Amino acid sequence: MALFSQPSSLAGIGNRDLHTVADAERYITDRCHQHYDEFGFGMWVVCAHGDGARALAVEPDTPVGVAGIIRRPLLAHPDLGYAVLDAFSGRGIATEAAAAVCDLADRRYDIETLLAITTVDNIASQRVLLHLGFSTDGDVTDEHGTPLRMFRRRGRGHLSAAH
């Protein structure tokens, strides 16, 4: 609940109305599990392990964020999503988690085109996406009228087929 209730998530992801444990359980059942059932992929919990946990001064297996692949009605292709607790932002966790998801998109799911969207002013997430090889692909507006910046990444299968 803390991840989706923090100010940066409310500004960048939107309000998921998760105020109680029961709200979070409903969200997981109704949205996350349904997404896996329908598409075979979704969001994963990002946990600190080994040296990373020591560097963050947390216990091993402490959840620090989420990352995964989702389908949105707004977009023509699957979408990379990620979020990190504010207490752990700026430490490379989003980049590492998003890179792992891109690798899964290529190797396990054979996704040729992976999209990502950010709010127009979310420069930190835009830097992560550009670092991972995404390119800017214009702006879109979500169902609430929020302007979003769209990014596109071609999968490894596309790159090897071109040579």
State which fold the 2-162 domain adopts: Aminopeptidase (3.40.630)
How high is the pLDDT of residue 27? Answer: 61
The residue extents of the domains of the chain are: 2-162
User: Rounded mean pLDDT of the chain?
Assistant: 80
SS3 138: strand
pLDDT at position 56 over 90: no
Q: Is pTM, for the whole model, over 0.75?
A: yes
The pLDDT value given to residue 1: 44
Flag whether pLDDT at 51 surpasses 80. Answer: no
CA distance 137 to 147: 13
- pLDDT for 127 equals 95
The C-alpha atoms of residue 38 and residue 93 are separated, in whole angstroms, by 28
Q: Looking at residues 66-75, what average pLDDT do you find?
A: 90
Q: How confident is the model at residue 153 (pLDDT cuts 50, 70, 90)?
A: very high
Residue 77: predicted pLDDT: 96
- Write the DSSP symbol of residue 133: T
